[in-house]
Amino acid sequence: MGKALFIIDVQNDFTEGGALGVEGGAAVAAGITAYLDAHPGHYDHVIASRDWHDPDNDNGGHFSAHPDFVDSWPPHCVSGTEGAEYHPALSSAAIDVHVLKGQGKPAYSIFEGTTDGGLPLAEALTGLGVDAVDVVGIATDYCVRASALDAVAAGLTTRVLTGLIAGVAADSSSAALTEIADAGVEVVR
Average pLDDT over residues 36-42: 96
Among residues 13, 77, 101, 134, which one is catalytic?
101
Average pLDDT over residues 129-144: 98
Mean residue pLDDT across the chain: 97
Active site residue 143: yes
| Domain spans of the chain, in order of start | 2-188
DSSP H or E run through 50: strand 45-52
Q: What is the chain's alpha carbon radius of gyration, rounded to the nearest angstrom?
A: 15
Active site residue 101: yes
* Per-residue model confidence as pLDDT tens digits over 65-86: 999 998 999 999 999 999 999 9
Contact 49, 40 (CB under 8 A): no
- Backbone region of residue 183 per phi and psi (left: phi > 0; alpha: psi in -120 to 50; beta: other values): alpha
Contact 99, 89 (CB under 8 A): no
Please name every residue paired with 138 in a beta bridge, in sequence order, or none if there are none: 166
* Per-residue model confidence as pLDDT tens digits over 7-18: 999 999 999 999
Q: What percent of the chain has pLDDT over 70?
A: 100
d(CA 55, CA 47): 25
Res. 1 pLDDT band, cuts 50 70 90? confident
CATH topology of domain 2-188: Rossmann fold (3.40.50)
Q: What are the start-end ranges of the E strands in 78-189?
A: 97-102, 114-115, 130-138, 157-166, 186-188
* Per-residue model confidence as pLDDT tens digits over 164-179: 999 999 999 999 999 9
d(CA 115, CA 120): 6
User: Which strands, in side-by-side order, build the sheet including 45-52?
Assistant: 114-115, 97-102, 45-52, 2-8, 130-138, 157-166, 186-188
Structure-derived torsion over alpha carbons of residues 92, 94, 99, 102, reported in degrees to the nearest 10: -40
Please name every residue paired with 53 in a beta bridge, in sequence order, or none if there are none: 78
d(CA 107, CA 22): 18
Among residues 134, 141, 143, 150, which one is catalytic?
143
